[in-house]
Structures are given as structure tokens and as C-alpha cells.
Structure 1
């Protein structure tokens, strides 16, 4: 069997490992070289580069895939829409792997990055952004001396942060998720007063961020997940793949 997996996420890597252990040939599509490097260790064939709907259709038609698994980030709305549309056009089964939500106590919820930036307009004190480098432009009106940004350790992320005017001394280039202790240490190190994050679930270390913020007295602003295709949890995906493709149940993730 030949499966196509989209996503350089931790869930995507787990799916690839699970499939490979069951003798499935896996091709994975990731957006960046950094994501590709992480996926190569899983033992699958990797294609790197952002694809639009037409490019996805072309790749699906070129190769004899049995199904597609969308394990992209829960905030990658456009990518998931393109995957869904491409699969419908070529009539390929699609499985969307989602993330379980977390309790939203002890934080202020914002519907999007624009609203989260507006909440910070009349505040003072340092801000730690952990939303990803693509959201930096929403915070353009905030003085750069207040802004600390945690990004992935990739050339692309560094270039985008530099273009957004973030000072190099205010950049934290690390691959997460992070423990409560490390989050708390970073919040104390830079005297952070506000932490902006996405509701990224367990895989994104969301609860550890909340716990660290509570311990250090930091106000959390959480960007809510986009409405739409929430996807299924890990247990449901495994069960369906076993039932639909006869994959043997072996060790779990």
C-alpha cells in the first residue's frame, strides 16, 4: 500500500512511523526544509515545498496512492482546504488527524491574531510571542523593544523575523514542545508580562505554557482555533486505518 501524508508536525511523524511499522510505503509532503529534515528520520520518502490545490492534484494523479492523511497543523486552514478539495477531485480517501483541545482557564481568548494584537495595544511590559513567525506582521504596531519571539530554528524563520524587524537579541530559536520549567525560565529571563500563544493542544505544549504563566504571574492571550474540519483523534484514526486497510495492530505510538 502507498499512503500520502501531509504535515511536518509531531502528529505527522507519529503517523509515518506507525504506517511504516505496518509495511506501508509512505510519502510525506512538508512545506519547509526544516520539516523535511525532521520527517526523513521517520524512514519515509519526503517532498518539500508548499503546494496549491492544482499541484496537489497533479502529484496525486502521478502516483498510485491508496489514501491521504492530513496531519497538518490545526491552524493551517488553507492547506487543509486544498488537501480536501484535491482529494475530492481525484477521489482519494482522506483522513484528517486533529488535536484534542485543552482547558481554557487562566487565559484571555482572542478569535484571531489581529484581535490578540489589539488586546496588547494599551498595555505595557514585555511580550513573548509563541504563535509562529507567519503571524509576526499582525503585531507590527507594537514597539519592537517589547517583543520577544520564539520561532523554529530554520533559515526561513530567521529571515522572516528579521524582515519583521525583530531584534536578534529578542529571538528564541528552538524546536518545541517545551516543559513547564523551561517556559517559566524564559518568562523570567526576559521579564515577560504577556504570553501570546495558539490553542495548540498537548502536541504543542499548550498546558505547559499555561502552567508556566500561572507560576510566573504572566497574562496569557490564546488565539482560538479556526472553525471547520476539526479532524479525528489518534485513537479513531488508528481504528479506521486498521478497519479500512487491514493494517495489523502492533505497538502503539
Structure 2
């Protein structure tokens, strides 16, 4: 089959590679050039850059795509909706790979939040020095939350020049910006948060691939509260137990 895979994440690239090994013709799309470079290094046929609806449809039609697989980040709501709409428009199947969630631990240090506002309010009650491990996409929204201007905010972001410019434009000082690419080990997290004297950590439920387990374990070991932002709820997400289960669904499209 000719498959178009939206794969800006590690598990998305792995999925695309597995599909190729099974004899499918796979086209991979990533948002960033860096993501495309990683995919190309893995031998995948790749393009990069944001897509509008017309460009999306044109790519599918030009390459005779028979199935659209959305393996983007669990929190990439806009591209999920666009991909689903485009697949309906051109009349091809849409399959959403939803990476498995973490196994939830029970601890008074673990707090779940439905959205940024709830997470921000919790964080302000729990401490003064707040560490964001949620990336740069919604950084402006975080920093504008009530109470955050009175807190010491630290943000871990990708080490890219445009991201650093964004952080500086939002008023973050160099000591508040931790520019590094994850996922990170539990030992690394603990050393960093101890050095920065962090009171509370905010993260997303990005699954094991995204390092969520390590973040939570680090917090529990240090006795630091951790706030986990819940995944967006969508009517079309169908989490699979494993990638093998998902592959079986793809094979059924033949």
C-alpha cells in the first residue's frame, strides 16, 4: 500500500520504518527540518514543513496515497483534526496511532490537570520555583497564567536558535532556559532539579517514549510534586495496546 505517515516523533518514525519493512511504500511528513533529517537518516522518504489543507490533499493525490496514518504527538490537536478532515475529503482511511499511556502510580505527590489553567493554579499553590517540561509550543500561554509572573519559572526546550529567541522574547533569562533534547534519564532529571532547587514540575502525559515515567519517578524520589497535564480528549483517538496491534489494523486496509 501507498501510505502517508505524519511522523514527527520517535515512535512515529519507528512505525514508518516497520511499515516499510512489511513491504509498504511509505511517505513520511514531519513539521521540522530536523525531524526530517532524523527520518532520512533512518532511510525514510521524507518531506517537512507545515501543511495547509490544499497542500495536504495535493500530496496525497500526487502520490496515490491509499491510507493516512497520524503518528504525531498526543497533544498536536490541530494536525489531528486537519488530517482527519483531509482523509474524509479525499476518501482514504485515517488511522491514528496513539502511543500507550503510562501506568499511573498512586502518590499524593502526583497531581493530574485537565488543562493549562488548572495545572497553573495547582503549581502556584505547590511552590515558588516551577519547572516546565512541556516544550516551547505553549510557553507563552504558560507564562501568562495568573500567578506565574510572581513565580520563578524554568523551561526545558529544544536547543534551537528560534526557540531560544522565543524564550528571550517572553522575558526568560538565560538561567531560566534549559536548552537540551530529551528524553532524559531519571538521574539527569534529579541532578538538574536538585541544582535548581525546583519546588514543582509540570509535564505532559507523553507516554514512556516521551520520558514521562522518568520525570514522575524523579519527582517521587526527590519528594517534589509533579503535575501531569492530561491528554486532549478526542472522539477519534483509539489507543492500541501495542504497535503490533496497530500494524494489524493497517494490514486490514488492504
- Establish whether TM, by shorter chain, passes 0.5: yes
Alignment of 1:213 onto 2:216 = no
Whether the 8 Å CA contact 1:5–1:26 is kept in 2: the answer is: yes
- Figure out how many residues of one structure are paired with residues of the other and give that number: 245
Distance 1:38 1:156 in 2: 19
Q: Deviations over 1:117-168 (max 9, x none)?
A: 2223355431110011012112324248711111122233223222222222
Select the residue among 236, 239, 251 that pairs with 1:232.
Answer: 239
Alignment of 1:126 onto 2:129 = yes
Specify the SS of the correspondent of 2:138: helix
Alignment of 1:105 onto 2:106 = yes
71-80 or 48-57: bigger deviation = 48-57
Whether the 8 Å CA contact 1:144–1:165 is kept in 2: the answer is: no
Whether the 8 Å CA contact 1:8–1:38 is kept in 2: the answer is: no
Distance 1:55 1:13 in 2: 22
Partner of 2:45 in structure 1?
Answer: 45
Specify the SS of the correspondent of 1:162: helix
Runs of 4+ aligned residues of structure 1 deviating over 4 Å after TM superposition are none
Unaligned runs of 5+ in 1: 246-253
Select the residue among 200, 207, 213 that pairs with 1:194.
Answer: 200
Whether the 8 Å CA contact 1:114–1:138 is kept in 2: the answer is: no
Q: Deviations over 1:194-218 (max 9, x none)?
A: 1000111111111111110011111
Pairing 1:50-199 to 2, within 5 Å after superposition: 50-102=50-102, 103=104, 105-106=106-107, 107-122=110-125, 124-141=127-144, 142-143=148-149, 146-199=152-205
Whether the 8 Å CA contact 1:117–1:138 is kept in 2: the answer is: no
Alignment of 1:11 onto 2:11 = yes
Distance 2:113 2:105 in 1: 11
Whether the 8 Å CA contact 2:7–2:16 is kept in 1: the answer is: no
Shift of the 235–22 alpha-carbon distance from structure 1 to 2, 3 Å rule, reads closer
Distance 2:244 2:2 in 1: 21
Q: Deviations over 1:69-110 (max 9, x none)?
A: 100001111110100000011011121100222205331111
Whether the 8 Å CA contact 1:144–1:167 is kept in 2: the answer is: no
40-49 or 82-91: bigger deviation = 40-49
Shift of the 177–101 alpha-carbon distance from structure 1 to 2, 3 Å rule, reads same
What do you get for the CA RMSD once the two structures are aligned?
1.9
Unaligned runs of 5+ in 2: none
Select the residue among 226, 240, 253 that pairs with 1:244.
Answer: 253
Distance 1:114 1:37 in 2: 35
Distance 2:209 2:154 in 1: 22
Partner of 1:30 in structure 2?
Answer: 30
Whether the 8 Å CA contact 1:36–1:47 is kept in 2: the answer is: yes
Q: Deviations over 1:224-243 (max 9, x none)?
A: 11111323321221112234
